[in-house]
Structure 1
Amino acid sequence: MPDQAALPAAAPHFTDIRGKRLAWWTSGKGSPSVVLETGLGLESAAWQDVQAAIEPHFRVFRYDRAGRGASDPARGPRDANAMIEDLAQLLQSARLPTPWLLVGHSFGGLLMRLFAHRFRAQTCGLVLVEAMHEGQFERFGPAFVEPTPDDSSALQSMRALWREGWRDAHTTPENIDFPASFRAVSAIDTLGDLPMAVIVAASFEHSPFFAAEQREALQRAWERMQEGFLALSSRAELIRAPQSEHFVQRDAPQVIVDAIGRVARAV
């Protein structure tokens, strides 16, 4: 696996989408085209190890959503529908060949679920990596450790988001309307026979954000949420990444690379 730190920083392309300049990168060749969608905690550059590993076989696309990385700020509250409309226009402007194999991490997984449903004809496969579940904040928010004077800024911001902040779009730099986004994905009943992989990692087993005696039960609850995504397709499989925490593209990128290959072969 290539060392991400050793990879040269590629210059982005920029495209204006509804008055916002969005940054994007492509590399490689082959079919299907793989679209990489990031979550909330890392920028799209975190996909570089995965991108470098699959570009000999696939055309690969990644981008920064409005309000992230090299892209322009987001304007006003935006839900998942608005975000995937931006992505659809961006893919068309970039002339990324169809079909598209979608890969989404965390919040990006929520977006790719909705994108696959809205653009099913152009989508040939889906890989969900620790995908955000519409019930996760209400289930896990109350379980965060109680505040102490020694809390890190990361813990403070995570607790604030997961407990109540998710209800307010201004909590995130992207001005995400989570309630509207959750309503949108909750309306998806099926993706038919779309080849699909669901990757679940050990997000809670060692997390300092939760009391040690709660972690095992929280991990089981998280795994049940991830397993629920399998009902979206008649051709879905669960892939476990017990050696990884939430950011699988950083901790165990080969798991994602292998999952992309499995889904591509199933197309």
Structure 2
Amino acid sequence: MKSAWMEKTYTIDGCAFHTQHRKGSSGVTIVFEAGYGTSSETWKPLMADIDDEFGIFTYDRAGIGKSGQSRAKRTADQQVKELKSLLKAADVKPPYLAVSHSYGAVITGLWACKNKHDIIGMVLLDPALGDCASFTFIPEEMHKSHTRKMMLEGTHAEFSKSLQELKKRQVHLGNMPLLVLSSGERTEKFAAEQEWQNLHSSILSLSNQSGWIQAKNSSHNIHHDEPHIVHLAIYDVWCAACQQAAPLYQAVN
């Protein structure tokens, strides 16, 4: 029997956050973190085909989708605090498997650095994290998207501060399974594409068990263009995590 979806709003520090959650048979919950200025609706096509063994938790960050506005600074450190508070309010306990897109990887990256024992693995889709201090390195497609969505969620200064927060708190993630998926649908006009891929390659050093996949037919929105690759990545990370924690795996199967 499929688990029922629970759609609830929780108030954190005076801001109403819209969430959706379902339980899974394995005890592991996939926590989705969307890109900059993007609501949780972006994950709907992908979630439809995720196995019932996984729990799922999605939410709209402050100022996005069905969530309210927050007076707090829109930095990754604040957003990690809000995410942790929402998981607690919804009684969604670890272990978590984090799946994030673009700027969402900054949030989940910082979350993992602070709480790596709660997270069994990460799948990062065209992540905007690493040694990236400005948007001069970022492909034109993402630069335009960021500029368009900036007014929805924060400022360039807050984005830059989020990158600085992650760099300051960055720790090695040990054997946490980590898969980085990069967009492959680029053209000659993206002069910084090689630097963008180098940025993604540098992320692999954060874990002893990491891998890189190029989604050759995908734009920046890999989860829309090639969802089957994301599904496989999630399952690969899950299987790798299970091999590291055999007692947990045996207990839930």
TM-score between the two structures when normalised by the length of structure 1: 0.79
Distance 1:254 1:41 in 2: 24
Consecutive unaligned residues of structure 2, counting only runs of 5 or more, are: 242-253
Cα deviation for residue 118 of structure 1 reads 0.8
Instruction: Say which of 224, 228, 232 aligns to 1:258.
Output: 232
Q: Name the residue aligned to 2:78.
A: 82
1:161 paired with 2:147, answer yes
Distance 2:146 2:166 in 1: 23
Distance 2:10 2:213 in 1: 35
RMSD: 2.5
Cα deviation for residue 55 of structure 1 reads 4.0
SS at match of 2:21: strand
Q: Which runs of 4+ in 1 moved over 6 A?
A: none
Cα deviation for residue 73 of structure 1 reads 1.2
Q: Name the residue aligned to 1:139.
A: 136
1:48 paired with 2:61, answer no
1:125 paired with 2:121, answer yes
Q: Name the residue aligned to 1:14.
A: 9
Aligned pair count? Answer: 232
Question: Are 2:97 and 2:120, in contact at CA under 8 Å, matched by a contact in 1?
Answer: yes
Amino acid at match of 2:161: A
Distance 1:76 1:95, change over 3 A: closer
SS at match of 2:136: helix
Instruction: Say which of 90, 95, 101 aligns to 2:91.
Output: 95
Distance 1:108 1:257 in 2: 18
Question: Are 1:98 and 1:122, in contact at CA under 8 Å, matched by a contact in 2?
Answer: yes
Cα deviation for residue 41 of structure 1 reads 5.1
Distance 1:160 1:175, change over 3 A: closer
1:30 paired with 2:25, answer yes
Cα deviation for residue 230 of structure 1 reads 0.1
Consecutive unaligned residues of structure 1, counting only runs of 5 or more, are: 1-9, 145-153, 207-211
Instruction: Say which of 159, 167, 171 aligns to 1:186.
Output: 167
Amino acid at match of 1:60: I
Distance 1:59 1:248 in 2: 22
Cα deviation for residue 122 of structure 1 reads 0.9
SS at match of 2:80: helix
Distance 2:146 2:171 in 1: 31
Q: Can you list the C-alpha shifts for 1:3-28, whole angstroms capped at 9, x where unaligned?
A: xxxxxxx7731011111110000125
Cα deviation for residue 104 of structure 1 reads 0.8
